[in-house]
């Protein structure tokens, strides 16, 4: 199994694990919900809602991987790089660099 010395070396692998359009859409939806709930919890000081963050983020992503992409999520092997990849992919999708 490859070990990546940097995120820039990892990111092409990460994208290769997200070729299915529905999987990518679920990632974007989950990340958007995570950000929305986080902002809402901060503004309303509803700290009990923070438990939703990993459920929303991982829940949408894992459904995308297991049901549509049919591969093992990269987060199981590369948790930090995978988290970073989620947000880079989210941003690149929002800015039109990656197709949704």
Alpha-carbon gap, residue 44 to 25, rounded angstroms: 28
The span from the first CA to the last CA of the chain, in angstroms, equals 29
Task: Name the average pLDDT for the chain.
Answer: 96
| Predicted model pTM | 0.91
User: Which pLDDT belongs to residue 2?
Assistant: 78
User: Which pLDDT belongs to residue 1?
Assistant: 62
Q: What pLDDT, in 10s, does the model give residues 27-63? A: 999 999 999 999 999 999 999 999 999 999 999 999 9
User: Which pLDDT belongs to residue 20?
Assistant: 97
Alpha-carbon gap, residue 77 to 28, rounded angstroms: 21
| Residue 4, helix vs strand vs coil | coil
């Amino acid at each position: 199994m490859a070990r990546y010395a940097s995120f820039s070396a990892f990111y092409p692998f990460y994208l290769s694990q997200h070729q299915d359009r529905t999987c990518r859409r679920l990632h974007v939806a989950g990340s958007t919900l995570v950000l929305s709930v986080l902002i809402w919890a901060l503004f309303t000081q509803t700290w009990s809602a923070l438990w939703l963050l990993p459920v929303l983020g991982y829940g949408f992503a894992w459904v995308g991987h297991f049901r549509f992409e049919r591969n093992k999520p990269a987060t199981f092997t590369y948790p930090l790089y995978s988290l970073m990849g989620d947000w880079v992919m989210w941003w690149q999708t929002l800015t039109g660099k990656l197709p949704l």
